[in-house]
């Protein structure tokens, strides 16, 4: 699917789609991470009667830095804004949000780390869906050299490359043995054929003893 088609995506028709696109820039107006719940990753909030942060589902929690990044992707047809979060963002940037936040001091959430900047203009295959907020959310990401899976795929070959190599080797060796028979093997084969011929002649002579005796009397 192209980026233009992605912008016109009908979530009632398509639950998830594949789109190959490049990353143009990151939108930092909402920052690139938030303080999340260590259990469910929902954003923690301060209660009016408390200073500690709490989750609406898990009460007071120790904050866990969690990615939430808006980025613009593009191809030759158009550009679109998508959201990438959590483990998918970790996969893209190659580092966890917690480690990146602790790695160096950032004056504000709007400061873009080098680890994020290095993927700008890189092309990926994105798996995208429309979330409950109407945003295009990246649910998986692949290197650009991996084609999107098709609805019909050939049956997998049960033989492994090593097994196929071994089978080809056996066939080659068998052909070589058939083409290059040694002299000793030829002599053994010839002797066996001569022995078989002698046995057949002797057996056929013994089958007609009356004929031999009649011929002697006639002489």
The pLDDT score that the predictor gives to residue 194 is 54
* Cα 101 to chain centroid, rounded: 31
Give which of 126, 103, 123, 125 is closest to 113, Cα–Cα: 103
* Mean pLDDT of the chain, nearest integer: 73
- Strand blocks (E) in 38-98: 45-46, 53-55, 59-60, 64-74, 79-85
Q: What is the mean pLDDT of residues 57-68?
A: 80
Terminal CA-CA length for the chain? 104
Q: What is the mean pLDDT of residues 90-111?
A: 83
Q: What is the mean pLDDT of residues 19-33?
A: 93
pLDDT at 7 over 60: yes
At residue 43 the predicted structure's pLDDT band, cuts being 50, 70 and 90, is confident
The pLDDT score that the predictor gives to residue 193 is 56
Residues 6 or more apart whose Cβ sits within 8 Å of residue 77? 2, 3, 4, 5
* Cross-strand partners of 59: 55
How is the chain split into domains, by residue range? 3-143, 161-218
Return the percentage of the chain with pLDDT > 70, whole number: 61
pLDDT tens figures, 102-124: 887 665 667 888 899 999 999 99
pLDDT tens figures, 155-213: 333 333 343 333 334 444 444 444 344 454 555 555 555 554 444 444 444 444 444 44
Residues present in the chain in total: 219
Report yes or no: 85 and 68 within 8 Å, Cβ to Cβ: yes
The pLDDT score that the predictor gives to residue 191 is 57
Q: 3-143, what's its fold?
A: OB fold (Dihydrolipoamide Acetyltransferase, E2P) (2.40.50)
At residue 149 the predicted structure's pLDDT band, cuts being 50, 70 and 90, is low
- 0.75 exceeded by pTM: no
Q: What is the mean pLDDT of residues 125-138?
A: 92
pLDDT at 48 over 80: no
Give which of 22, 21, 56, 51 is closest to 40, Cα–Cα: 56
Residue 43 is given by DSSP the state B
pLDDT at 12 over 50: yes
Report yes or no: 137 and 59 within 8 Å, Cβ to Cβ: no
* Number of CB atoms found within 10 A of residue 61's CB: 19
Cα–Cα distance list, 66 to 48, 51, 87, 203 (Å): 23, 21, 9, 95
């Amino acid at each position: 699917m192209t980026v233009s088609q992605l912008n016109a995506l009908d979530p009632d028709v398509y639950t998830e789609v594949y789109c190959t696109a490049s990353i143009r820039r990151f939108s930092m107006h909402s920052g690139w991470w938030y303080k999340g719940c260590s259990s469910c990753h929902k954003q923690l909030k301060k209660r009016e009667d408390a200073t500690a942060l709490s989750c609406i589902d898990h009460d007071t929690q120790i904050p866990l830095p969690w990615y939430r990044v808006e980025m613009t992707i593009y191809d030759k047809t158009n550009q679109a804004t998508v959201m990438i979060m959590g483990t998918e963002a970790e996969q893209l940037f190659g580092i966890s949000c917690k480690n990146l936040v602790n790695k160096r001091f950032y004056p504000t959430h709007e400061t873009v780390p080098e680890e994020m900047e290095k993927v700008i203009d890189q092309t990926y295959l994105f798996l995208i869906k429309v979330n409950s907020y109407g945003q295009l959310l990246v649910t998986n990401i692949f290197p650009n050299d991996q084609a999107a899976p098709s609805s019909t795929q050939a049956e997998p070959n049960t033989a492994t490359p090593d097994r196929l190599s071994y089978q080809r080797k056996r066939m080659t060796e068998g052909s070589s043995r058939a083409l290059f028979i040694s002299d000793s093997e030829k002599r053994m084969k010839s002797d066996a054929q001569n022995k078989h011929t002698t046995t057949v002649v002797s057996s056929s002579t013994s089958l007609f003893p009356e004929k031999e005796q009649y011929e002697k009397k006639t002489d």
